[in-house]
Amino acid sequence: MKGMMMHQPLLVSEILEFGAGAYPKAEIVSVRTEGDIHRETLVEFRERTIQLAHGLKAHGVELGDRVATLAWNGYRHMELYYAISGIGAVCHTINPRLSAEQMIYIVNHAEDKVLFLDTTFVPLIAAVKDHLPKDMTYVIMTDKAHMPDAPFEALCYEDLLEGQPTEIEWPLFDEETACGLCYTSGTTGNPKGALYSHRSTVLHGMMMSVMQTTTFNEGLSVLPVVPLFHVNAWGLPYSSLLSGMNMVMPGPALDGESLFKLMDQEKVFSAWGVPTIWQGLLGEIEKQGRKPEGFGDVVIGGSAAPRSMIEAFEKMDVSVGHAWGMTEMSPVGTHGIMPKWMENEPFDTRIDYKSKQGRRCFGVELKLVDEDGNRLPHDGKAVGELYVRGNTVVSGYFKNEEASAKALDSEGWFGTGDVATIDPNGFLSIQDRAKDLIKSGGEWISSIDLENIAMAHPAIAQAAAIGVAHPRWDERPILVAVAAEGAEKPDLDEVREHLSEHFAKWQLPDDVVWVDSIPLTATGKFSKLNLRKQLADYKHPELRETA
Ligand code: ADP
């Protein structure tokens, strides 16, 4: 027997209407690329978003069209999120740290029709524009007074809004309609697109708001340092509006000093980002001898949060939520809130627990499997590959049949490529990574791509790329190489020069270690596990200098 309840599609536009209606005084505060601070209430935000939606339609954007953004965290980027999705188009956020090659690939693959960019990114687009779709409309996210002299034809963001009505009848469509697109690095080959739907996005926003009891409180301020260009800033653009929080948008300056100043000024309660960012902030806190006023909650994710970092925050009464997720999961999967029964445990026990990646969010199921796909117990001891299932997990990749076919196992679960344990209290602990990716400062580098291109160098017979621990960037890539017979070994600069055509500068290896042979697995692949063991005593060059 079916229930007799209404069926309203879960649409992103309803989050905007709810937020502006229920929390009209909540604010979005942004450090602008123009240099000043801009404030708008959710009522103003809604009006400008509606004007932008009309502006997009006036420029021919229709249901299903992809509209790209290349921008820092700021109110205009937020307006784009809601306006693009609101009219049924797809907001494709581009990571400016991608190499030119990857950026060209994803813009063409997504078939973006319009590209919105911050003034900062004009040179970046000028350099690749000849390889982007010919009929693309470019819009620079500023006002007339600050329009840069771009070497390509571009519209001005504020012109799109000007004179447009501030009311709209948001279109109703199927909740499965796509609303966002974010590409993630593949272990091999080109980036793959996670295509979020209105339904998955609304559910993810709701799921986070019920989970994170310490963060989400009306009237408090949240600082997403995690970028809007990377997996929807971990869902904050939605859950902040659902819970009535003020959003504080940092713009391009993410160093410790700038963040401290902004957090202090705006009395930010909760700040979200990757460990690298918090290293900078902790340095500034130490320098100032105090934490920013009002700071009480930090969410760390994207890479494992070091125990010492968790301890440092907790000692200054900043509650740490250690979160784990993936682009393919919208992205949040688990979050490290302490269970109530643990409150009276000794400090060290609590820090041990906070060093784990937390418990699952509602609607995200976790399973561990061994190499043959058999389920392993959640006993805190069995180590296996982690699979996930739920309404906020991808079912495949955008326009990529090959990758889609491999994404799910026979039971319909998504393989994360992470190796983990889960304890009887439900706490996930990531142990290792089965996928061949290196994560530096929260951003991926494909080790396989590095290896393949390195091995195209005539003097390199074999090359394996691995990540080594680095205090600032969590991990940095190095190359372990075998020289071709009779060849003179190229030095680091030459290897980097050889790779630089295909990689962004930050993706290049920091060192080359020459060896006689690279350990292989039973199937003849490089054994990264053994290689990592073999190099257990290896120290990144910067650590050697300071030792
Ligand atoms: P995000 O950077 O937003 O987490 P990505 O899709 O770029 O999303 O990266 C996901 C991967 O990052 C995970 O599969 C895992 O390898 C790693 N990761 C994310 N969060 C953590 C964490 N808290 N601890 C350890 N690894 C993490």
Looking at the annotation, which residues are catalytic?
184, 328, 439, 444
Would you say the CB of residue 327 lies under 6 angstroms from ligand 1?
yes
Q: Which ligand 1 atom lies nearest to the CA of residue 416?
A: 14
Would you say the CB of residue 93 lies under 6 angstroms from ligand 1?
no
Each residue's pLDDT expressed in tens, for the chain with a length of 547 residues: 999 999 999 999 999 999 999 999 999 999 998 889 999 999 999 999 999 999 999 999 999 999 999 999 999 999 999 999 999 999 999 999 888 988 999 999 999 999 999 999 999 999 999 999 999 999 999 999 999 999 999 999 999 999 999 999 999 999 999 999 999 876 567 899 999 999 999 999 999 988 867 889 999 999 999 999 999 999 999 999 999 999 999 999 999 999 999 999 999 999 999 998 998 999 999 999 999 999 999 999 998 898 999 999 999 999 999 999 999 999 999 999 888 888 899 999 999 999 999 999 999 999 999 988 899 999 999 999 999 999 999 999 999 999 999 999 999 999 999 989 999 999 999 987 778 888 898 888 888 889 889 988 999 988 999 999 888 888 899 999 999 888 899 999 999 999 998 888 999 999 999 999 998 876 677 888 788 888 888 999 988 865 4
Which amino acid residue places its CA nearest to atom 24 of ligand 1?
A: 304
Domain count, the chain: 3
Q: What is the pLDDT of residue 422?
A: 98
Q: What is the pLDDT of residue 211?
A: 81
Which amino acid residue places its CA nearest to atom 2 of ligand 1?
A: 302
Q: What is the pLDDT of residue 130?
A: 97
419 lies in the same domain as 496: no
Which amino acid residue places its CA nearest to atom 10 of ligand 1?
A: 326
Model confidence, pTM: 0.90
426 lies in the same domain as 517: no
Would you say the CB of residue 429 lies under 6 angstroms from ligand 1?
no
169, 197, 225 - which closes a domain: 197
H or E segment to which residue 224 belongs: strand 221-224
Instruction: Give the CB-side neighbour count of residue 209, counting CA atoms within 13 A.
Output: 19
36 lies in the same domain as 146: yes
Residue 401's domain is classified under what CATH number? 2.30.38.10
458 lies in the same domain as 415: no
109 lies in the same domain as 144: yes
397 lies in the same domain as 450: no
Residue at 310 is within a domain: no
Q: Find out whether 323 and 357 touch, Cβ atoms under 8 Å.
A: yes
Would you say the CB of residue 83 lies under 6 angstroms from ligand 1?
no
Q: Say how many Å lie between the CA of residue 324 and the centre of ligand 1.
A: 6
Q: Say how many Å lie between the CA of residue 138 and the centre of ligand 1.
A: 32
Q: Which ligand 1 atom lies nearest to the CA of residue 231?
A: 3
Q: Which ligand 1 atom lies nearest to the CA of residue 327?
A: 6
Q: Which of 187, 324, 359, 392 best tests ligand 1's pocket when mutated (most atoms within 8 Å of CB)?
A: 324
Q: Of 90, 103, 54, 97, whose CA–CA distance to 72 is shortest?
A: 97
Q: What is the pLDDT of residue 396?
A: 97
415, 433, 451 - which closes a domain: 433
30 lies in the same domain as 105: yes
165, 197, 229 - which closes a domain: 197
Q: What's the sign of the alpha-carbon dihedral 522, 525, 531, 533?
A: negative
In the structure encoding, which two tokens stand for residue 104, read together?
Answer: 């060209």
Residue at 444 is within a domain: yes
Write out the residue range of the structural domain in which residue 499 sits. 438-546
Q: Which ligand 1 atom lies nearest to the CA of residue 331?
A: 3
Which amino acid residue places its CA nearest to atom 16 of ligand 1?
A: 418
Q: Say how many Å lie between the CA of residue 332 and the centre of ligand 1.
A: 9
427 lies in the same domain as 519: no
Residue at 297 is within a domain: no
Would you say the CB of residue 433 lies under 6 angstroms from ligand 1?
yes
22 lies in the same domain as 89: yes
Matching residue, tokens 């979200």:
272
Would you say the CB of residue 304 lies under 6 angstroms from ligand 1?
yes
Residue at 176 is within a domain: yes
Edge to edge, what strands does the sheet with 114-117 contain?
155-156, 137-140, 114-117, 66-70, 90-93, 178-184, 192-197
405 lies in the same domain as 442: no
181 lies in the same domain as 59: yes
- Phi, psi angles (nearest 5°) of residue 19: -60, -50
Which amino acid residue places its CA nearest to atom 25 of ligand 1?
A: 304
Q: What is the pLDDT of residue 543?
A: 84
474 lies in the same domain as 416: no
Q: What is the pLDDT of residue 163?
A: 98
Would you say the CB of residue 326 lies under 6 angstroms from ligand 1?
yes
Q: Which ligand 1 atom lies nearest to the CA of residue 230?
A: 3
Would you say the CB of residue 119 lies under 6 angstroms from ligand 1?
no
Q: How far is CA 265 from CA 30, 180, 221, 269, 361, in A?
A: 12, 32, 11, 11, 32
Residue at 395 is within a domain: yes
Residue at 456 is within a domain: yes
Question: β-strand 437-440 against 443-446: which pairing, if any?
Answer: antiparallel
What is the Cα–Cα distance from 243 to 232, expressed in whole angstroms? 17
Residue 531's domain is classified under what CATH number? 3.30.300.30
Q: What is the pLDDT of residue 522?
A: 66
Would you say the CB of residue 331 lies under 6 angstroms from ligand 1?
yes
Residue at 239 is within a domain: no
Which amino acid residue places its CA nearest to atom 8 of ligand 1?
A: 326
Q: What is the pLDDT of residue 527?
A: 81
Q: Say how many Å lie between the CA of residue 418 and the centre of ligand 1.
A: 9
